[in-house]
Homo-oligomer: A and B are copies of this chain.
Amino acid sequence: MKKLINRPEDFARETVEGIVLAHPESLRMVNNNHHCLVRADEKRAGKVAIATGGGSGHLPVFLGYVGFGLADGVTVGNVFASPSAEAMHEVDKAIHAGAGVLHLYGRYGGDIMNFGMARDLDEMEGIEVTEVLVSDDLASAPRGKEDKRRGVAGLVFAYKVAGAAAENMLSLAEVTRIAQKTVDNTRTLGVALTPCIVPEAGKATFSIGEDEMEIGMGIHGEPGIERSKLKPVDAVVTTMINRIVEDLPYQAGDRVAILVNGLGSTPKEELYLAYRKAHSLLQDKGISIHRKYIGEYATSLEMAGMSISLLKLDDELQNLLDAPCYSPFFAQFR
């Protein structure tokens, strides 16, 4: 295990300490608890608060999406492990500004259980809570079972759009509707070339041959849908785009946002090779790209590979996607 870390059991806490030392103007802990981070600026009375959370090891997910025009608070677990309901409840109390809280997170068993308990705790204190589960990973369940799918890089679109809606002072019902609509119009498919190593486990999350790749691999190493010999990036992207497009389906005339996301150790150069092919395939299908994000937006430690996400836009989603936002990890000004 070749990592620049101290003791594996301190990894998640020390990472958060480093982040709060680096960005005190943007993020602060609640009650000095490194599991609980919220926006450092003053909250706006009457604004819907957006809470998210999940395990560590996916930066910028989750805490990188707390900021202006994004989420308001995050609960941070250990690596690939759900944080506790109590910590989620602390965050919710800290960010609640009188207009309710949206729980916006990826569909994973532990998180569902803990956010559910946090909601019970919140409601006992009179905080209204709704939830939207991001479930964009089309490899994690077949069509028709979208409500069984896991959340992956599509989280970024959900934070961006719902965060802008909340910043516009829309109601909890409206922010929730818009977050759900974003999820409903997002599809992601990934490809993994190597596993990653969880510090405390000290060994690879899965094994894969020196000349193999796996399409649909989850961000914690959940099994994918097709393992094969490594192919040229143009062939890989063709498979991925075709599966994504047919799943929603996206159609000629659609406007989309695209996210080409590196999983950790794949160089930016390779992400642009992937974008190059995706751009040409979508153009051939008559699907126009309104906005693109290319880089590391949702990672799995040092896993090699990438994912491609599409979000189908209408005027409402497009206006919200185009709004400015700011966090130390994700800023959009134009």
Give the interface SS of chain A, mostly helix, strand, loop or mixed: mixed
Please state if B279 and A22 are interface contacts (CB–CB under 8 Å). Answer: yes
Interface residues of chain A, those whose CB is within 8 Å of chain B, are 2-7, 11, 14-15, 17-19, 21-22, 56-57, 59-60, 191, 193-194, 210-211, 230, 232-234, 236, 264-270, 272-276, 279-280, 292, 294, 296, 299, 301-302, 304-306, 326, 331, 333-334
Please state if B4 and A273 are interface contacts (CB–CB under 8 Å). Answer: yes
Please state if B269 and A267 are interface contacts (CB–CB under 8 Å). Answer: no
Please state if A266 and B4 are interface contacts (CB–CB under 8 Å). Answer: yes
**Complex Cα gap A236–B6 (Å):** 10
Q: Contacts A194-B2, A236-B4 given; indicate if A15 touches B269 (C-beta within 8 A).
A: yes
Please state if A275 and B21 are interface contacts (CB–CB under 8 Å). Answer: yes
Please state if B265 and A59 are interface contacts (CB–CB under 8 Å). Answer: no
Please state if A296 and B279 are interface contacts (CB–CB under 8 Å). Answer: no
Please state if B273 and A5 are interface contacts (CB–CB under 8 Å). Answer: yes
**Complex Cα gap A296–B262 (Å):** 12
Please state if A267 and B264 are interface contacts (CB–CB under 8 Å). Answer: yes
Please state if B18 and A59 are interface contacts (CB–CB under 8 Å). Answer: no
Q: A4-B191, A7-B232 are in contact. List 11 more A-B contacts (CB 8 A).
A: A4-B233, A4-B305, A14-B273, A15-B276, A18-B272, A19-B272, A21-B275, A59-B268, A59-B269, A266-B302, A269-B301
Please state if A302 and B21 are interface contacts (CB–CB under 8 Å). Answer: no
**Complex Cα gap A239–B301 (Å):** 25
Please state if A17 and B276 are interface contacts (CB–CB under 8 Å). Answer: yes
**Complex Cα gap A280–B20 (Å):** 13
Q: List the B side residues contacting A279 at CB < 8 Å.
A: 18, 21-22
Please state if A6 and B194 are interface contacts (CB–CB under 8 Å). Answer: no
How far is the CB of A292 from the nearest CB of chain B, in Å?
Answer: 6
